[in-house]
Amino acid sequence: QEQRRRLIAAATRFPLPSGCRFSYGTAGFRADGATMAPAVCRAGILAALRSVKLAGAAVGIVITASHNPIGDNGVKIADPDGGMMAQHWEPFADALANAPDPDALLQMVLQFAKDEGIPLGGEDTAQVLLGRDTRPTGAYLLDAALQGINAIVGARAVDMGILTTPQLHWMVRSKNKGVMASESYYFRQLIGSFRRMLELVPKGKGGDEVAKKLIVDGANGIGGVKLEQIKVELSGIDISVRNSGKEGEGILNHMCGADFVQKERVTPHGFNPEDVGVRCASLDGDADRLVYFRLSSASDNRVDLVDGDKILSLFALFIREQLDIVNNNGGQANKSLSARLGIVQTAYANGASTLFLKSLGLEVVFTPTGVKYLHKRALEYDIGIYFEANGHGTVVFSEDFISQLESLSNELSSQADIGSAQYHAVMRLLAASQLINQAVGDALSGLLLVEAILQYKGWSFQDWCGLYSDLPSRQLKVKVKDRSVIVTTDAETKVSQPSSLQELIDKETANYTHGRCFVRPSGTEDVVRVYAEASTQVEADGLAKSVAHHVE
Ligand code: NG1
Ligand code: ZN
């Protein structure tokens, strides 16, 4: 009875405006922040139910619209392992968000609880950790989420404050592993493992003062704020933050941030000609994306870009090198590591990156867009490295592999091999596994791993950028009446419906050397995206434009 009363009360407080339709897309629900309260409240209900279903394990709610404009907002749910909510709950998320009235919502929850075997009404049955970014609608939506969570009897909500998205995912994962789920613990892990990585840089490598200098574009979001908080403790790099989110510095994601830099390939707001040649990094508004860039010249605003694909390539090279050092030294079976290393990309990965990775003999596989697909696929390996071209990605290590590392490090240290190259390589892999966020792509931890690897290799930005040359590409957005009429297959590389569209794309693509083109409906915006690659920029633009024409 109490349970029924609470659900009706919550749904009544946040009625669904007529004509509103929410869909749990690539990264949860997203819309204009002012219209999001009903969906966020219902996401609160959903998260609490998810926790009850999973025997009270902590789940997470993140209130953010990532790289989207400041007026937008969104909500997504993290599962107990810190990853995205299991996909088979998405249809229920959609149905719940769109329940037309309180009574329909109540019936829906009761029916779902029955079908899924979720026991309602118990005490202390669920816990939900909440985080939000710096958006002005964040506090209001946090309240809506709290009311949704509290509509489930026995659910406890814990507001973790204003955080980067990956911090919240990390906290959920930690909580369920019995590790302290606090921000200070998160920072301690980041700073400590980064320091260990630098201690393992071979003598004579590592940076001079110039190599240590890094300018970070914080997108006027939460990432810059957090980086300011910890940068004094990051000895070994000299970080200055621009677009740090301080009063007067600019608007969230506006003319700055990882999405802007990666898509527009121009200098973000807040940079000037004095920065030419300096290594720069750009985060997005919630700090789960990371790209690097360098101002090419003082006379125009173009940048040399290092996108997610090249960050992935750097990580892959580094990890492969460490595995080789361990396995080629001595060669005794009990002192080697057996690891399946896998690379996961999406259709947006630059074709040149895929060729490069394959030329190294690495296994490369593809999934549809969205970390929920990439992350899951990466978990199939002992070491899975995934990145979207836009800079979202991470490295995941299997538990079995981590225990191999731990026992090998114990064995080597007890045999007084701690000066050996093999021991150092094992320790580097261990430190990297602690530095890089295992729950989800994390710009701050990714940035520190990049910096540590550049120092290890003694590489400049140019050395890194020159690993391979990106094929010229173009991305366009097309507004259509109903984007859901486009259905794709083969990890989104082919259109299956409408059936004539793929033939048209093939015909256009055949006109270009190294042409590649695909279209798909966005999961976060009301548009169809067109991506084209070809051997020159003019050709890539031409291909994208002619295909966009067929989509309209
Ligand atoms: P959609 O709108 O589904 O293309 C975008 C990004 C994804 C991912 C999500 C979540 C591109 C082409 N797509 O998804 O990679 O980051 O947003 O934020 O960048
Ligand atoms: Zn983001």
Burial of 196 (0-12, 13-18, 19+ CB in 10 A): middle
Residue 221 corresponds to which amino acid? G
Q: Average pLDDT, stretch 298-307? A: 93
**Average pLDDT over every residue of 437-444:** 97
Question: What's the CA gap between 66 and 285, in Å, rounded?
Answer: 5
Q: Which atom of ligand 1 is nearest to the CA of 259?
A: 19
Residues with C-beta less than 6 Å from any ligand 1 atom: 26-27, 66, 348, 369-370, 388, 390, 392, 522-525, 529
Ligand number nearest to the C-alpha of 488 = 1
Centre of ligand 2 from the C-alpha of residue 64, in Å: 8
152-181 pLDDT tens trace: 999 999 999 999 999 999 999 999 999 999
Which pTM value belongs to this model?
Answer: 0.95
Per-residue pLDDT band for 332 (boundaries 50, 70, 90) equals low
**348 C-alpha vs ligand 1 centroid, how far in Å?**
10
**Residue 162 confidence (pLDDT):** 98
| pLDDT attached to residue 329 | 64
pLDDT of residue 298: 85
**Is residue 327 very low, low, confident or very high in pLDDT (cuts 50, 70, 90)?**
very high
* Candidate from 21-25, 140-144, 281-285, 501-505 with smallest mean pLDDT: 21-25
- 489's enclosing H/E stretch is strand 487-489
What domains can you pick out in the chain, each with its CATH number? 2-180 (3.40.120.10), 192-306 (3.40.120.10), 309-465 (3.40.120), 473-551 (3.30.310.50)
- State yes or no: 515 annotated in a binding site: no
Residue 417 pLDDT greater than 80, yes or no: no
CA distance 396 to 191: 19
Q: At what angle do helices 37-53 and 138-150 cross, to 10 degrees?
A: 40
User: Which of the listed residues 345, 346, 388 should we mutate to test ligand 1's pocket, taking the one with most ligand atoms within 8 A of CB?
Assistant: 388
Give me the active site residues, please. 66
Closest C-alpha to ligand 1, atom 7: 370
Indicate the pLDDT class of residue 248, thresholds 50, 70 and 90.
Answer: confident
Determine the average pLDDT of the residues in 321-340.
82
> Would the annotation count 523 as a binding residue?
yes
- CB within 8 A of 87, min separation 6: which ones? 372
- Cα angle 232, 276, 273 (rounded to 5 degrees) comes to 100
124 in a labelled binding site: no
Q: How far does the centroid of ligand 1 lie from the alpha carbon of residue 23, in Å? A: 15
**Ligand 1: distance of its center to the CA of 259 in Å?**
10
Mean pLDDT across the chain, nearest whole number?
95
| 246 band by pLDDT with thresholds 50, 70 and 90 | confident
Q: Looking at ligand 1, which residue's alpha carbon is closest to its atom 4?
A: 522
pLDDT, average across residues 408-418: 84
Please state, in angstroms and rounded to a whole number, the distance separating the CA atoms of residues 475 and 473. Answer: 7
Q: Is 64 helix (H, G, I), strand (E, B) or coil?
A: coil
Whole-number CA gyration radius for the chain: 24
Convert the pLDDT of each residue in 105-161 to its tens digit: 999 999 999 999 999 999 999 999 999 999 999 999 999 999 999 999 999 999 999
CB 68 within 8 A of CB 169: no
8 Å CB contact between 76 and 28: yes
- What is the 3-class SS of 237-259, one letter each residue? CEEEEECCCCCCCCCCCCCCCHH
Element (H, E) at 37: helix 37-53
Tens of pLDDT, residue by residue over 365-399, are 999 999 989 999 999 999 999 999 999 999 999 99
Check if the beta carbon of residue 259 is closer than 8 Å to that of residue 223: no
Greater confidence (405 vs 334) lies with: 405
288 labelled ligand-binding = yes
